[in-house]
Amino acid sequence: MKLGKLAQKIHRREYERQERERRQQLRNQTTVLNRSQYSQVPKKFKPLVSWTPTETEKKEWAAKMLEILYTVENESRILPSTCSKEVGSETTKRSKEITREESKSEDKSRRPAITYRESLPPFLMAASKGDISKLQGFVEKAKDMDRETTKTCSTTNEPRDAMKPADQKPKIYDNQHLQSLLNIRDRHKSTAEHWAAGGGHLDCLRYLYKLRANLQLSVIGTTRDKSSESHYSSSKKAGKARRRDGKTPLHYAARNGHVHCIEYLLEEQLWNQSSHQIPFAHTNTKHHVDEKSGEGTTPLHLACYGGHPNAVKILVEKYGANPHATNDWGCTCAHWAAMTLSKSEDSVRELCSYLSEHCGISFTDTQGQGHTALHKAAHRNNQHVIRWMADSKGDGGADLEPSDKVKAGLPDLGGHKPSEIWQNMGGNADFSQWMKTAMGW
């Protein structure tokens, strides 16, 4: 049995890190070697050894997987507005009651695999599908529970406060259930607003933001909900940030090219009409066009990654997004466009040409690992981007100078040329040969 892709990938990255350090030492020791000679240095990479698990290990792994599936299934059935410590403890207790013997006897063929979207809590599921009526139903149930709680608290406090003047009696604003509903997150910390924005459901997005803003205004003595603020903040938390951390609904709207949601998030404000106070931006946090995720990714980066020329143009021309911004890896819009998910050759060429001609983005600059846009395109088998970089301006291409073409195809810090990366990622062998012979890549 071969080791999993993740283990092999981690092993490969560790080797490449050591290789970069060794090459850097060579650079510090001598100036005679040029970059092409670095790639001729003998490599020391040794792939991981295959292994065969024992029968005991197989049974233990199967039992563990079934226990996880049971836990996920039970949690997905819980009504979001009633998620409390008691419910959480019951779920944990139920998962612990499942014995290993029961897991072994379970017929796995009766448990069909479900997608990540299908495993979402019901409130997030409704937002992802744009079902505003279901969202409103969950909200009304939460409000009913809050009203019941407020009524109970008022009855309890009435004898104690009966002798106080009316203006000195404490006002109870118990929105615990509604607040818990709005703060439900999936495993990647995404809220209902993220799912609504990513799906392009403007009516749901507007409803959720207005609801959250009204909730903030209704809490006496509270200026901002710290739990929700931290989720929309672009500042890094202590420790290593994950790739998905820190993305806002604006990132998701740009990633999927939903221009109407982008315009809403960057333009519209929610006002406290009753008191005519300072306008409240969305959830007390105004979205900025260049706000960054945990690893420095901007909405413009994700619009390029999604392959949406219209969204890119609006972000740059209408809202002033910075096309030269880089993330923590040093990747520019060119690198993200090279990794685009778009399969349309016309859209890819339009996007790359716009970034190159109108934004002045270089497709030959390297990022932290020595990758140009060409390396990224080869890694994702994006033939349209590679063809665009090879073509002349008359053919609608990048019209790179000969020196720039050489620069784009130099080996990265790990000693890999774009054609090698293309072939290692399962690309067409004929196209890899064309990159080597015709382009020198």
d(CA 51, CA 47): 12
Q: Kindly tell me if the per-residue pLDDT of 219 is higher than 50.
A: no
Query: Yes or no: is domain 120-155+172-227+246-287 CATH 1.25.40.20?
Result: yes
Ranked by mean pLDDT, the top range of 79-88, 170-179, 381-390 is 381-390
- Mean pLDDT calculated for residue range 219-240: 36
Average pLDDT of the chain to the nearest whole number: 76
Residue 243 token pair: 């790739």
Q: Which of 368, 296, 305, 369 is nearest to 333 (CA)?
A: 305
Q: Kindly report the pTM of this predicted structure.
A: 0.67
Asked whether the beta carbons of 290 and 322 are under 8 A apart, the reply is yes
Domains 120-155+172-227+246-287 and 294-441 alike in fold:
yes
- Mean pLDDT calculated for residue range 410-425: 91
Report helix angle 122-129 to 192-199, nearest 10.
20
d(CA 63, CA 55): 12
What confidence score (pLDDT) does residue 73 get? 64
Least confident of 68-72, 193-197, 281-285, 416-420: 281-285
Q: Which of 312, 430, 426 is nearest to 380 (CA)?
A: 426
d(CA 270, CA 208): 12
Could you write out the three-class secondary structure of 314-351? Answer: HHHHHCCCCCCCCCCCCCCHHHHHHCCCCCCHHHHHHH
Q: Kindly tell me if the per-residue pLDDT of 436 is higher than 80.
A: yes
Asked whether the beta carbons of 251 and 231 are under 8 A apart, the reply is no
Q: Which of 321, 410, 305, 398 is nearest to 356 (CA)?
A: 398
Tens-digit pLDDT profile for residues 366-385: 999 999 999 999 999 999 99
Tens-digit pLDDT profile for residues 242-290: 455 789 999 999 999 999 999 999 987 544 333 344 344 444 456 889 9
Contacts by 43-52, CB closer than 8 A, 24 or more apart: 43/19, 43/415, 44/15, 44/18, 44/19, 45/12, 45/15, 45/19, 47/8, 47/11, 48/3, 48/7, 48/8, 48/11, 50/1, 50/2, 50/3, 51/1, 51/3, 52/1
Residue 188 token pair: 């990647």
Q: Which of 191, 295, 271, 287 is nearest to 233 (CA)?
A: 287
Give the residue extent of every domain in the chain.
Answer: 1-26+51-114, 120-155+172-227+246-287, 294-441
Q: Any idea how long the chain is?
A: 441
Q: Kindly tell me if the per-residue pLDDT of 311 is higher than 60.
A: yes
What confidence score (pLDDT) does residue 146 get? 85
Who's near 182: CB < 8 A, 6+ residues apart? 191, 192, 208, 211, 212, 215, 228
Asked whether the beta carbons of 339 and 333 are under 8 A apart, the reply is no
Any bridge partners for residue 280, and if so which? Answer: 270
What confidence score (pLDDT) does residue 126 get? 95
What confidence score (pLDDT) does residue 118 get? 82
Query: Positive or negative CA dihedral for 26, 32, 33, 36?
Result: positive
d(CA 169, CA 163): 9
* Right CATH for 294-441 from 1.10.10.10, 3.20.20.110, 1.25.40.20, 3.10.440.10: 1.25.40.20
> 270 in helix, strand or coil?
strand
What confidence score (pLDDT) does residue 51 get? 57
pLDDT band, very low/low/confident/very high, at 17 (cuts 50, 70, 90): confident
pLDDT above 70 as % of the chain: 66
Q: Kindly tell me if the per-residue pLDDT of 37 is higher than 80.
A: no
What confidence score (pLDDT) does residue 131 get? 94
